[in-house]
Chain A
Amino acid sequence: MEFQFEFDWQAAIDSIPFLIKGIPYTLLISFGGLLIGFLLGILFGLLSINKRWFLRWPATAYIEIFRGTPILVQVLFIFYGLPDLIGGPIDPLVAGIAAIALNSGAYISEVVRGGVQSIAKGQTEAGLSLGLSRSQTFWSIVWPQALRRMIPPLGNQAIVSIKDTSLFSVIGVGELVRQGQIYIANTFTAFEVYFVVAIMYLGITLSLSLILRLIERRGLASV
């Protein structure tokens, strides 16, 4: 028997309205999580280079734990494990945002650490020699420069996190992949639907790349 496969364009187009419903969830989990992750990253990144060991060690432990375990395990732990501890169910959306926040936060901590450490010591010395306090020197001289260097790796992390949300179909959040799975269960057009899903991810990540490149170019123009 000869097997022939033909891409069914109509099936692909028909799936779009249903799949699109997943995009707000994908974006909400990604950017909600990344926003919190950015704050966590600043906090733990700066703590991880603090002189005091009792601030540095917990930060390093957080970074190692969330970088060293799979995000899928993290989200399963939060969604299925934590309810036992807190005695009540957790909304899958909240679990998803929390997983992205904690996971990206660990990676962003390293981005923050690298960014801050890449600024020459002479910058701090110049600030101190002008009479600025340590914190004034950091926030008005070192941090703005470090932030600019952090843009490319932050963009990279954002793209990774956006794609990571696809794993959260396992806890039943109606994001892109989950919408695809539901749709395929009725139509059996897996090839077409996952093709459309992939294109949608690509649309999101490419737009982000473009925006970041514009920001970077504007930022670098003044350095």
Chain B
Amino acid sequence: MTDIVQMKGMNKYFGKLHVLKDIDLTVAKGEVVVIIGASGSGKSTLIRCVNGLEEFESGHLTVDGHPLAPKSGNPKSLAEIRKEVGMVFQQFNLFPHLTVKKNIMLAPKKVKDTSETVANATAERLLNRVGIGNQADKYPSQLSGGQQQRVAIARALAMEPRLMLFDEPTSALDPEMIGEVLDVMRELAKEGMTMMVVTHEMGFAREVADRVIYIHEGQIVEQGKPDDVFDNPQNERTQAFLSRVLAH
């Protein structure tokens, strides 16, 4: 299998705070990697480095063959990476001034010069796929949180990404809407999409992940198959974290 993401000895600081410490991580094509950890552990920062929303200070990062230098030193690679990597945010970040369909059509038209007709057809197909084909002409504010997040997933998919990043995609949702978003992600994983998912949904992680990574204070402390990590964690920090999140 080819690796889509390769991180080697990656370090990231926020001022003096050492947020990511010597991260070594590879993600294979078609793999679903779920990253868990306490808030502030650096898990969001880790995936935000993959598409250059955060710079890193040292180390190596290659995404789908494009090397990214520390301090955003490689703008051409970065542009290519962003075309190939989709991202879904905790707060959806839909464009409120555009209809649902226009949200999805914007990037293909601007970045790939896709024609209006083709972009339109793609948007309709993707909206049907995430189960909200009938909401195409509404504005984001007219949709529920769960629907908005599904639009955000469709928007990212419109660029035909080779890798999808999910940054706590269900953390801002009402409990009854979490399921519909996880369902879409589950489908995506089944179809073979490479995914890096930061989440607190341990049930989803256990069911969908090929590999679970536990991050503690900027370091990968433990990783492995979900059943191994959840049922038989080796590191005492992982044990402590899991006993806290799985207790309730």
Seen from chain A, the residues whose Cβ lies within 8 Å of a Cβ on chain B are 120, 122-123, 125-126, 128-133, 136, 140-141, 144-145, 148, 222-223
Would you call B34 an interface residue if the criterion is a C-beta within 8 Å of the partner chain's C-beta atoms? Answer: no
Known: A145-B97, A223-B97, A223-B141. A131 touches B107 (CB 8 A): yes
Return the contact of B139 from the options A130, A144, A223 (Cβ within 8 A). A223
* Inter-chain pairs besides A129-B82, A131-B79, A223-B141, 6 sampled, C-beta below 8 Å: A122-B91, A125-B87, A130-B159, A132-B107, A141-B106, A223-B96
B95 adjacent to A123 (CB under 8 Å): yes
B79 adjacent to A133 (CB under 8 Å): yes
Provide the bound-state CA to CA distance between A126 and B97, in Å.
Answer: 14
Would you call B155 an interface residue if the criterion is a C-beta within 8 Å of the partner chain's C-beta atoms? Answer: yes
Provide the bound-state CA to CA distance between A123 and B89, in Å.
Answer: 10
Return the contact of A222 from the options B83, B97, B107, B159 (Cβ within 8 A). B97
What are 24 of the A-B contact pairs (CB < 8 Å)?
Answer: A122-B91, A125-B53, A125-B87, A125-B89, A125-B93, A126-B89, A126-B95, A126-B152, A128-B51, A128-B52, A129-B86, A129-B87, A129-B156, A129-B165, A130-B86, A131-B79, A131-B83, A131-B107, A131-B111, A132-B111, A133-B79, A144-B97, A222-B97, A223-B139
Return the contact of A129 from the options B53, B95, B96, B141 (Cβ within 8 A). B53
Would you call B110 an interface residue if the criterion is a C-beta within 8 Å of the partner chain's C-beta atoms? Answer: yes
* Top 8 closest pairs, chain A to chain B, by CB: A130-B107, A126-B93, A131-B83, A129-B87, A122-B93, A131-B111, A131-B82, A144-B97
Provide the bound-state CA to CA distance between A133 and B110, in Å.
Answer: 9
Residues of A within 8 A of B51 (CB): 128-129
Would you call B229 an interface residue if the criterion is a C-beta within 8 Å of the partner chain's C-beta atoms? Answer: no
Instruction: Select from chain B the residue with minimum beta-carbon distance to A141.
Output: B95
Interface residues of B in 30-84 (CB under 8 A from A): 51-53, 79, 82-83
Residues of A within 8 A of B141 (CB): 223
A128 adjacent to B93 (CB under 8 Å): no
Instruction: Select from chain A the residue with minimum beta-carbon distance to B78.
Output: A128
Seen from chain B, the residues whose Cβ lies within 8 Å of a Cβ on chain A are 51-53, 79, 82-83, 85-87, 89, 91, 93-97, 106-107, 110-111, 139, 141, 152, 155-156, 159, 165
Min CB–CB distance B5 → chain A (angstroms): 15
Instruction: Select from chain B the residue with minimum beta-carbon distance to A126.
Output: B93
Provide the bound-state CA to CA distance between A88 and B86, in Å.
Answer: 61
B110 adjacent to A136 (CB under 8 Å): yes
Residues of B within 8 A of A120 (CB): 91, 93
